[in-house]
């Protein structure tokens, strides 16, 4: 029987690429996001290969998360793989100029949202006696860079939660690991810079950034290891990137 994966943030970037790669490899899917039109289109395309269910909700809304997950039935209720991917940066400001709404968004989505969905799925994995959780962290969860303050804090929290989940779920045989990307060209910078396309495009100019498929490949590799192998924590950067602030650019 096919495995089933639930992917948050499946409507764009890393989550979307992972959904398509999983479908190519026969993994049934529950795709999540807020943009229903995108979910509908993806469901149509992915259904040619695997069973697909879509769930439209804002991960900040804990009741919506719980209620949507409670609607799952049949094979979709046996979730083998959870990809905790939904997240974004909002703004890039020195701490004294930071916008409180941006701070709320990053903490609410990247940290609390990840917790809400995990809280809804983990009991199912415990009942099933197996499961694999991949938390999408960031290099921003491994180091702090100028003006990254709250985004970095949210991803450091993901790093801590990845370790905490692995420790606490060890007794259930549930695998937990993180993939921590560096610069990946997605809608990430459009969101961070609130639609300022010039600023967003500049982030990826002068070097070859990672593509969403590069990270999807690594996620797929991680979830296809034999059961006794758990990739606990992985940092993946473009070759041109050495750290959050050191990127070899040719402009």
Catalytic residues: 151
150 is a site residue for ligand NDP (CB under 6 A): no
Bridge partners for 53 per DSSP: 30
Residue 109 contacts ligand NDP per CB under 6 A: yes
Rg (CA), the chain: 17
* Nearest to 22, CA basis, from 187, 138, 132: 132
Residue closer to ligand 8X3 by CB (options 13, 131) is: 13
**Residue of minimal Cβ distance to ligand NDP:** 13
Q: What are phi and psi of 250, to 5 degrees?
A: -115, 100
Kindly state the tokens that stand for 113. 């949202």
* Residues that bind ligand 8X3 in the complex, under the rule CB under 6 A: 138-140, 148, 183, 244
Q: Please name the residue that has the structure tokens 């950034």.
A: 209
Alpha-carbon distance of 124 to 181, in angstroms, equals 28
Q: How far apart are CA 159 and CA 161, in angstroms?
A: 5
238 binds ligand NDP (CB under 6 A): no
Smallest gap from residue 3 Cβ to ligand NDP (A) = 21
Identify what 6 binds: ligand 8X3, ligand NDP, none; CB under 5 to 8 Å per kind: none
DSSP H stretches of helix in the chain: 13-24, 36-46, 62-70, 100-106, 114-128, 149-169, 188-192, 197-203, 212-223
Tell me: does residue 15 bind ligand NDP (CB under 6 A).
Answer: yes
- Least Cβ distance, residue 38 to ligand NDP (angstroms): 6
Binding part of the chain for ligand NDP, among 33-41, 163-171, 218-226, 227-235 by CB under 6 A, reads 33-41
| Choice from 49, 51, 60, 112 touching ligand NDP (CB under 6 A) | 60
Nearer to ligand NDP by Cβ, of 35 and 41: the residue is: 35
Q: Is 76 in the site for ligand NDP (CB under 6 A)?
A: no
Of 30, 31, 28, 32, the C-alpha closest to 3 is 28
Interface contacts to ligand NDP, rule CB under 6 A: 8-15, 33-35, 58-60, 85-88, 109, 136, 138, 181, 183-184, 186-188, 191
């Amino acid at each position: 029987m096919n495995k089933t994966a639930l992917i948050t943030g499946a409507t764009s970037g890393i989550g979307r690429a992972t959904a398509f790669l999983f479908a190519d490899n026969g993994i049934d899917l529950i795709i999540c996001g807020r943009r229903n039109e995108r979910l509908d289109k993806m469901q149509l395309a992915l259904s040619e290969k695997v069973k697909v269910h879509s769930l439209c909700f804002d991960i900040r809304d804990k009741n919506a998360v719980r209620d949507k997950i409670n609607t799952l039935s049949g094979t979709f209720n046996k979730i083998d793989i959870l990809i905790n991917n939904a997240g974004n940066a909002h703004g890039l400001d020195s701490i004294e100029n930071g916008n409180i709404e941006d701070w709320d968004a990053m903490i609410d989505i990247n940290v609390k949202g990840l917790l809400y969905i995990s809280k809804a799925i983990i009991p199912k994995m415990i009942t099933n006696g197996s499961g694999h959780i991949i938390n999408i962290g960031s290099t921003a969860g491994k180091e702090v860079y100028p003006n990254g303050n709250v985004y970095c804090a949210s991803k450091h929290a993901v790093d801590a939660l990845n370790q905490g989940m692995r420790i606490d779920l060890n007794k259930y045989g549930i695998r937990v690991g993180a993939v921590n990307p560096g610069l990946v060209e997605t809608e990430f910078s459009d969101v961070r810079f609130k639609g300022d396309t010039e600023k967003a495009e500049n982030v990826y100019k002068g070097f070859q950034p990672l593509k969403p498929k590069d990270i999807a490949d690594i996620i797929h590799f991680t979830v296809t290891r034999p059961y006794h192998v758990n990739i606990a924590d992985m940092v993946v950067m473009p070759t041109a990137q050495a750290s959050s602030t050191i990127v070899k650019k040719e402009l």
